[in-house]
Amino acid sequence: MADDGSTQNAIWPLPSFSFQVSWGSEQKIAFQEVTGLEAETQVIEYRHSNSPNYSTIKMPGIAKYTNITMKKGIFVHDQRFWDWYSKITMNTYPRVTVVVQLLDEKQQPTMVWTLKNAWITKISGPSLKSDGNEVAVESVEVAHEGLTVANA
């Protein structure tokens, strides 16, 4: 019989639809979608000249983080991302900490991704169609210098 959750200590995977994002000192911002929470370590291949093995050894190299893409609906008089993007000049953009929190059924953070020194690298407005029936959604791409993960 399948577990219906009525037993003590039932363990279920968390759904991905309940999350919140904090951007620097801003209050929480409601996003429709967050993608790109990825980290990768580049591989260094090396073989010294008198190695008895005719193959390379692999060592960890530099960490590499993908850009994070966030999508949200457009609201009247809300152009904060366009304002932040317009502040970018040659390496003088104020970098912020972005925190993405996956929430449990009590709306408490359970997984937390923290992006260090984040800044907007790309912003896209909505696709406009005269016969469309969708909400206007803007997209923001964020570059950062580090990703840490904490499990609450």
- In this structure, the number of other CB atoms found within 10 A of the CB of residue 41 comes to 11
Is 67 among the domain residues? yes
pLDDT above 70 for 6: no
Is 4 among the domain residues? no
Is 113 among the domain residues? yes
pLDDT above 60 for 5: no
| Domains identified in the chain, total number | 1
Residues 84/98, Cβ–Cβ less than 8 Å: no
pLDDT above 60 for 2: no
Is 8 among the domain residues? no
Q: What is the pLDDT of residue 147?
A: 93
Q: How confident is the model at residue 4 (pLDDT cuts 50, 70, 90)?
A: low
Q: How confident is the model at residue 83 (pLDDT cuts 50, 70, 90)?
A: confident
Query: For the domain that residue 64 is a member of, what is the CATH number?
Result: 2.30.110.20
Dihedral angle over CA of 94, 97, 100, 103, nearest 10: -130
Give the domain range for residue 84. Answer: 19-151
Best CA proximity match to 150, nearest among 112, 98, 100? 112
pTM: 0.80
Is 32 among the domain residues? yes
> Across residues 115-139, what is the average pLDDT?
91
* CA–CA separation, 7 and 1 (whole Å): 12
Is 9 among the domain residues? no
Is 41 among the domain residues? yes
Is 6 among the domain residues? no
Which DSSP helix (H) or strand (E) runs through 80?
helix 80-86
